[in-house]
Amino acid sequence: MNKKKTYPLYFAAGALIVYTVLFVLPGIIGIGYSFTNWSAYSDQLKFTGLDNFKTIFSADENYLKIIGNTLQFTVVTTILKNVFGLMLAVLLTKSIKCLNLHRGIMFMPSVLSTLIIGMIFKSILDPAHGLLNTFFRSVGLDFLAQKWLVTSELAFGSVMAVDIWRGTGYIMTILIAGILAISTTYYEAAGIDGANGWQKFRYITFPLLLPTLATTTVLNIIYGLKVFDMIYALTNGGPGKATTEVLYTAVFKKFGTGQYAVGTALSSVMFVFMVIIGFFMIRVMTKGEVEE
């Protein structure tokens, strides 16, 4: 196939039709159902306008807290995964012993099933017999033993910490690829000019890594907005009322109780957040890109 030749649009018609039928059309239908009274308790489907969205944004419900939890989870995990991932990526592109072994160890958590990780850490963070609290007590640090997943003050932070541990290695791998793609001539020239390690990172690595960071940021945002299995495995939205509840766990529970219309309305809200935030982040992160 000639790469320089311009092919007619109908060459992409097949893929466009498949994408529309399998992805776009179900999304549009779902948004349409969010304006109805669709539920397991009624055989008649009626148009209700914005009633479901009024319920979601009502101060009397917990949905605003759920949306806030989702945004908080997304922002915190995205920032910290990128920060820790970048630190590890810079460290693991240096000449150190057993480099590939270290990379493999750091990447390992992202290979495991998120649900399985959640179940393992639920056992580790158990307040009475969990491995973490048992260790603290065994070394005389009883004051560090906490009720990690059963108090409203610590539960959400504990969930985010586990997710950051799981996803940092994946982000690190992407950033390592970005760093290795940077030409060594830049570093050689900077070394001749007397630049130190920090200056090389600030003026060469970081600017040239911005496109890759934009990618990891968008990936983290999409994951954060649609997170489900980690929350479900660790706390199922508890303790208490919507302490760690996020949009997808709320959607899951609404569909589980037959409130399909409210569930699709929550999904629509999540979709809008993903589009707006994703578009905004791409514009911001790529604004200062540096081309090689």
| CA–CA distance, 281 with 288 (Å, rounded to integer) | 12
- Asked if omega into 239 is within 30° of 0 (cis), the reply is yes
Q: For 51-66, what is the mean pLDDT? A: 81
Q: Where are the domains of the chain?
A: 24-39+48-287
Q: What pLDDT, in 10s, does the model give residues 78-105?
A: 999 999 999 999 999 887 778 888 888 8
Residue 174 has pLDDT above 90, yes or no: yes
Tokens of 76: 């915190």
More confident residue, 279 or 167: 167
The rounded distance, in Å, linking the Cα atoms of 256 and 43 is 17
Who's near 30: CB < 8 A, 6+ residues apart? 264, 267, 268
pLDDT tens for residues 123-152?
999 988 889 999 999 998 888 899 899 888
- pLDDT value of position 276: 80
Long-range Cβ contacts of 181-189 (<8 Å, 24+ apart): 182/208, 182/209, 182/292, 183/292
How much is the pTM?
0.85
Map residue 167 onto helix, strand or coil.
helix
Over residues 163-176, the mean pLDDT reads 94
- What is the rounded average pLDDT of the residues 66-74? 90
How many angstroms separate the first and last alpha carbons of the chain? Answer: 28
Give domain 24-39+48-287's CATH superfamily.
MetI-like (1.10.3720.10)
β-strand partners of 47: 36
| pLDDT band, residue 2 (cuts 50/70/90) | low
Q: CA-CA distance, 169 to 125, in Å (whole number)?
A: 21
Whether residue 292 has pLDDT greater than 50? no
Query: Residue 276: helix, strand or coil by DSSP?
Result: helix
Average per-residue pLDDT in the chain? 86
